Amino acid sequence: MAKIVSSWNDFDPLKRVIVGRADNSVIPPEEPATSEKVPIDSEMRGMWGLRPLETVEKANAQLDNLAKILEDRGVIVDRPTPLQWNQAIGTPDFRNDSMMTCMPPRDILLTIGNEIISAANSFRCRYFEYLAYWPLMNEYFEEDPEFLWTQAPRPRLTDKSYKHNYYDEKISLEERLERTANKDFVTTEIEPMWDAADVMRVGKDLFIQHGLTTNRKAMEWFKRYYPDLRVHAVNFPGDPYPIHIDATFVPLRPGLIINNPHRRLPEEQRKIFEANDWQIVDAAQPAHETPPPLCYSSVWLSMNCLVLDHKTVIVEASETNQLEQMDKLGMNVIPVPFRDAYPFGGGLHCSTADVYREGTCEDYFP
Ligand code: ARG
């Protein structure tokens, strides 16, 4: 019996990780609160069905390559078992015509110490995505006597979980930004809902983005579930689609965070970092003007890097500005091509989930 699961942050030396798979991925049908999350000008509005096989194969090639690069550096890489995602699903509370994919794992699995929690995601099409990780969870459970295999309270996702008529095709970008600033999001407070990728782990502190995929009640749930950790709600007023923190606010090592310059952390919330001598640096401009085709995310996946240790980081190979900035910040950079995987939900950090990093739960903000 060995220790398999332990991770307290996103920067200590990475030893074991899950890398997603794109097989059978679906562009999900519209459901309450999805059109609010798809950018207004996206070519994907109203589109749904299996993603073109050619794009799946290209994404898988880049995911496999990432896995190989990690393995060559001595990191153990685990892979999920994709389901046939284009099946209709139902619970006593809702029906949906399809699921989505097992990309990216970061949205579903949250590792805190020796525990991996499957999130309380707010998308109906992602309700059963955790099943792709079931074989791995079971393996960790059998082999690691301390592993805590946990499921967050499952949200019911009835129509009451979403505001209706929140969204109107004509809503302007300014109006969207105003709503973000006012913390007026499409999800309601009827039950805790959260995506794992909204949680930034920094040892004893969890910084959780309040946005379209995570609500206030989730913060309250975290506070009660982890009484020994400190939970901070953060929000980024410059983001018209605040979904997942990892293309917005990304720690590189103790004391250093890069922040999306269009989505700056408000002054009030910067205090805890400044008081503890953490530096918050504007991330470099993305090298691309647009995301690749059939991609929900923004060009800021440029900053969605995977930190291997305090001095080493994997950055997408075509993101020349970001590569250069990492170098200037004193990091050794490993460029890895990954843009073909972006349409499947995210960049290098999104597409992975921590299993084991060295180090313990440190108090960086005493
Ligand atoms: N909301 C981010 C953006 O478009 C994308 C975040 C993707 N992260 C993730 N874990 N899926 O800039």
Q: Is 346 in the pocket of ligand 1 (CB under 6 A)?
A: yes
Q: C-alpha distances in angstroms, 289 versus 26, 133, 153, 172, 343?
A: 25, 34, 39, 21, 15
Q: What residues does 49 pair with on adjacent strands?
A: 27
pLDDT in tens, the chain (366 residues): 689 999 999 999 999 999 999 999 999 998 887 777 777 777 887 789 999 999 999 999 999 999 999 999 999 999 999 999 999 999 999 999 999 999 999 999 999 999 999 999 999 999 999 999 999 999 999 999 999 999 999 999 999 999 887 776 667 888 889 989 889 888 999 999 999 999 999 999 999 999 999 999 999 999 999 999 999 999 999 998 999 999 999 999 999 999 999 999 999 999 999 999 999 999 999 999 999 999 989 999 999 999 999 999 999 999 999 999 999 999 999 999 999 999 999 999 999 999 999 999 999 999
DSSP letters, 232-285, are EEE--TT-SS---GGGTEEEEETTEEEE-TTSPPPHHHHHHHHHTT-EEEEPPP
Rounded to the nearest angstrom, the gap between the alpha carbon of residue 121 and the centroid of all alpha carbons in its chain is 11
CA distance 111 to 201: 9
Question: Is ligand 1 within 6 A of the CB of residue 195?
Answer: no
SS3 readout for 152-184: CCCCCCCHHHECCCCCCCCCCHHHHHHHHHCCC
253 C-alpha vs ligand 1 centroid, how far in Å? 20
Question: What Cα–Cα distance (Å) separates residue 216 from each residue in 112, 160, 245?
Answer: 20, 15, 15
**C-beta of 299 in contact with ligand 1 (< 6 A):** no
Q: What's the gap in Å between 213 CA and the centre of ligand 1?
A: 11
Domain boundaries, the chain: 14-157+175-357
Is any ligand 1 atom within 6 A of the Cβ of residue 4? Answer: no
Cα of 212 from ligand 1 centre, angstroms? 12
Instruction: Take residue 101 and report the two structure tokens written for it.
Output: 């994919």
pLDDT score recorded for residue 126: 97
Domain 14-157+175-357 belongs to what topology?
L-arginine/glycine Amidinotransferase; Chain A (3.75.10)
Specify whether 244 is catalytic: yes
Report d(CA 253, CA 277) in Å as an integer. Answer: 13
The per-residue pLDDT for 168 is 67
Give distance in angstroms: CA of 362 to centre of ligand 1: 27
pLDDT in the model for residue 306: 98
231 has which bridge partners?
A: 206
CA distance 31 to 123: 8
Instruction: Give the residue, out of 194, 297, 305, with the most ligand 1 atoms within 8 A of its beta carbon, to mutate for a pocket test.
Output: 297
